[in-house]
Amino acid sequence: MSILSTNTTEMKAIVVKPNLIERLEALDQMATQMAARYGLTLLSISMGIVFLWFGALKLDMGLSPAEPLIRETISFLPMKFFLPVLAVWEMVIGLGFLTGKFKRATILLLLAQMGGAMSPIILAPDRIFNTFPYSFTLEGQYVVKDIILISVGIVIWATVRGGGLSSKPVKK
């Protein structure tokens, strides 16, 4: 940063080093701009990986750690049919996020799948809570964390018409 100083008829520049707060502010602005530029892409990639991977695990009976909970919660459906359908469904969601194609359909598939993923809270609460309503089992934590996946889906949904994230302050 330079400041112009006037001394009689002569002008000279005085160089002033930015202080620590100014440097931190510049670093914060740069990091915020990078987060706005790449955040949605990283969310989509991470969602794609999670759904593709977890879906693939369900293709091989007994490999998914979620399978026992699914079997108990959705006991009214034949697992030989339901688990492969669920696996492919999740993998399609994953591919939708990874490719960025058919975003609306991908989000709708996600929200419908999340309804099923959250169903053990109602259909098998004894598998979800140690003490209702605040102490979760490990399976309960697995189910409740899906709130984050739903939220990510909603954030991505908000951009399907070409919107994005911005690092610029909102003017009121």
- Ordered DSSP codes for 68-102: HHHHHHTTTS-HHHHHHHHHHHHHHHHHHHHH--S
pLDDT value at position 9? 56
Q: Which amino acid is at 123?
A: L
Distance, in Å, from the CA atom of 90 to the CA atom of 98, rounded to the nearest integer, reads 12
pLDDT value at position 15? 57
pLDDT value at position 13? 61
Q: How far is CA 116 from the centre of its chain?
A: 18
Distance, in Å, from the CA atom of 38 to the CA atom of 46, rounded to the nearest integer, reads 12
pTM: 0.81
Q: Is 66 helix (H, G, I), strand (E, B) or coil?
A: coil
CB contact at 8 A, 73 and 128: no
| Sites in the chain below the pLDDT cut of 70 | 1-18
Question: What dihedral angle (degrees, nearest 10) is formed by the CA atoms of 41, 145, 112, 109?
Answer: 20
pLDDT value at position 11? 59
pLDDT value at position 70? 93
Residue pLDDT, tens place only, 124-133: 999 999 998 8
pLDDT value at position 61? 84
pLDDT value at position 119? 93
Phi, psi (degrees; rounded to nearest 5) at 131: -135, 115
Length of the chain measured in residues: 172
pLDDT value at position 62? 87
